[in-house]
Structure 1
Amino acid sequence: MPARIPTLRNLRNGFTLIELLVVIAIIAILAAILFPVFAKAREKARQISCASNLRQLGLAAMQYIQDNDEILPGAAYSFSGGGVIGGWMYYQTYSATPTPNQYDPTLGSLYPYVKSQGVFVCPDDAGGQLSRDSYAINSCVDAGTQIGNVFPGKSVAAFDDVSSFLLFGEEAYPNGTGNSDTQTTDDAYLLYPVSTNPISTRHTAGSNCVFVDGHVKWCRTDQLAARHLQTGGVDTGGACP
């Protein structure tokens, strides 16, 4: 006699509530394991995209230097509310919080070498996406002699070790993380002391940076303050080289 083939009805009757709960529990466990993995992978992808942006800014700065007698790009700012042309980024309006189109990269000195507004915004920075800028120049690459609202850049020859001195980094202000100086996104990356002009920690307690020689790497925030931003390695409002 041929074996009896189970019907759909019999299969349904054989699937108990306990078995259903076991399946749900397994799915929940897998989700708890996989979701953090996916989140880390997504953040890593954003960090890589941000590093790519800074790499392009670094290359643009190198081209700018070649075209301007080995002088680094300068910075500009304005407290009056009017825009200022002459820096690496055009600072359009003064505001204590990120505002739409607060910056205009197309009028900055590096845009002719980049020609993409997206390069100036980190994908992890919602404030920067609003204001159109996530990055800032280190104040110590400026010559210190203000001409109007513009700070011209220093000569590359002023730096003993261009591979260890920060040129551009990620600003904390556009992301709303405790920066009391609303100007640092544009005119200088870290006006001293570092404690009141923090470096962004958007990427796992650190940030991407491009150095005066054009190379890019991820650095812990404490490493940046101690090794790459000012002489003496301490946050004392210290001198620039």
Structure 2
Amino acid sequence: MFWRNWSWTVRIRVGLVISFIAFAGVAVNRAVFISEHSGFCPFNLKGIGLGFLQYVQDYDGKMPPAPSNIGWASAVYPYLQSERIFRCPTRELEGWKYSDDPRQTAYTDYFLNAQLQNRNLEKSGDVTRLIMVAEGNDGQDKTDGRYAKPAIPTKWRSDRTSPSFRHKGGANYLFADGHVKAFKAADISTNWSANKVYFQPKKSQE
């Protein structure tokens, strides 16, 4: 074979090049695989939405209470029968470690709109515009079964490593009528009122 006449230096260099190409190929394939599976986040959120709608029907139109010993995730779990539905498939593929105990952190990647806790859903505003659940878990939050926020944190609006940029520069949002849609962080309203719920897209994005 012609390569037997190569010096060890040449062999090492060629070996490094081949290894680099192989590694790059694996990395690209993995990136494509993860990108393709990012479509499962809307699927998960739609499932969670169905769980909430069933819960609301069973509890006189009210959302899960807050604070609660079990949290919203445990409240809707009986309608879903799956812990994995609370997890972003992309993060699972990246090796993120999760807990199956809703009392522990790393249980979910999605946060509930805290403004909706213990409220009558139909009386909370236009359900077609009202965000119910959004993508979260920046690695710093306590993401147990009670994980909730009233809006996107200010830092997440500009930090491209935050959950608000998780999928192709945006994130998926579950609305109170059960539909799911992706938005850029800049397209979500920052309006706030103590008497009304304002976690929703800006009017210009409808």
Q: Which whole-Å CA distance do the structure 1 matches of 2:171 and 2:124 have between them?
A: 25
- Deviation of 1:211 after TM superposition, in Å, equals 0.9
Task: Name the CA shift for 1:15/1:211 in 2 (closer, same or farther; >3 Å).
Answer: farther
Equivalent AA in structure 1 for residue 18 of structure 2: I
Report if aligned partners of 1:54, 1:216 keep a CA contact under 8 Å in 2: yes
- Deviation of 1:210 after TM superposition, in Å, equals 1.0
- Deviation of 1:22 after TM superposition, in Å, equals 7.1
- Deviation of 1:39 after TM superposition, in Å, equals 3.7
Residue number among 50, 67, 71 corresponding to 1:77 in the alignment: 67
- Deviation of 1:55 after TM superposition, in Å, equals 1.8
- Deviation of 1:184 after TM superposition, in Å, equals 9.4
Task: Name the CA shift for 1:220/1:127 in 2 (closer, same or farther; >3 Å).
Answer: farther
Gaps of 5+ in 2: 198-206
Structure 2 length-normalised TM: 0.65
Residue number among 188, 193, 198 corresponding to 2:148 in the alignment: 188
Q: Which whole-Å CA distance do the structure 2 matches of 1:197 and 1:113 have between them?
A: 31
Report if aligned partners of 1:172, 1:201 keep a CA contact under 8 Å in 2: no
Over residues 110-135 of structure 1, what are the superposed CA-to-partner deviations in whole Å (9 max), with x where a residue is unaligned?
Answer: 12211112222334174654622332
**Partner of 1:7 in structure 2?**
none
Equivalent AA in structure 1 for residue 67 of structure 2: Y
Gaps of 5+ in 1: 1-10, 79-83, 90-104, 143-151, 227-232
Over residues 109-161 of structure 1, what are the superposed CA-to-partner deviations in whole Å (9 max), with x where a residue is unaligned?
Answer: x122111122223341746546223322102324xxxxxxxxx122325423x
Residue number among 100, 111, 117 corresponding to 2:83 in the alignment: 117
Q: Which whole-Å CA distance do the structure 1 matches of 2:137 and 2:120 have between them?
A: 24
Equivalent AA in structure 1 for residue 110 of structure 2: Y
Report if aligned partners of 1:43, 1:203 keep a CA contact under 8 Å in 2: no
Report if aligned partners of 2:134, 2:172 keep a CA contact under 8 Å in 1: yes
Q: Which whole-Å CA distance do the structure 2 matches of 1:62 and 1:47 have between them?
A: 24
- Deviation of 1:212 after TM superposition, in Å, equals 0.8
**Partner of 2:204 in structure 1?**
none
Equivalent AA in structure 2 for residue 156 of structure 1: E
Equivalent AA in structure 1 for residue 79 of structure 2: Y
What is the Cα-based RMSD across aligned positions, in Å?
Answer: 3.7
Matched, 1:34 2:25: yes
Look at both structures and tell me which one has the larger radius of gyration over its CA atoms: 1
**Partner of 1:88 in structure 2?**
72
Report if aligned partners of 1:167, 1:209 keep a CA contact under 8 Å in 2: yes
Matched, 1:168 2:118: no
Report if aligned partners of 1:137, 1:185 keep a CA contact under 8 Å in 2: no
Report if aligned partners of 1:136, 1:171 keep a CA contact under 8 Å in 2: yes
Task: Name the CA shift for 1:13/1:206 in 2 (closer, same or farther; >3 Å).
Answer: closer
**Partner of 2:109 in structure 1?**
134
**Partner of 1:58 in structure 2?**
49
Identity of aligned residues (%): 23
- Deviation of 1:214 after TM superposition, in Å, equals 0.8
2:108 aligns to what SS in structure 1?
coil
Structure 1 length-normalised TM: 0.57
Residue number among 180, 200, 203 corresponding to 1:216 in the alignment: 180
Q: Which whole-Å CA distance do the structure 1 matches of 2:28 and 2:3 have between them?
A: 38
Report if aligned partners of 1:75, 1:137 keep a CA contact under 8 Å in 2: no
Task: Name the CA shift for 1:41/1:16 in 2 (closer, same or farther; >3 Å).
Answer: same
Equivalent AA in structure 2 for residue 73 of structure 1: M
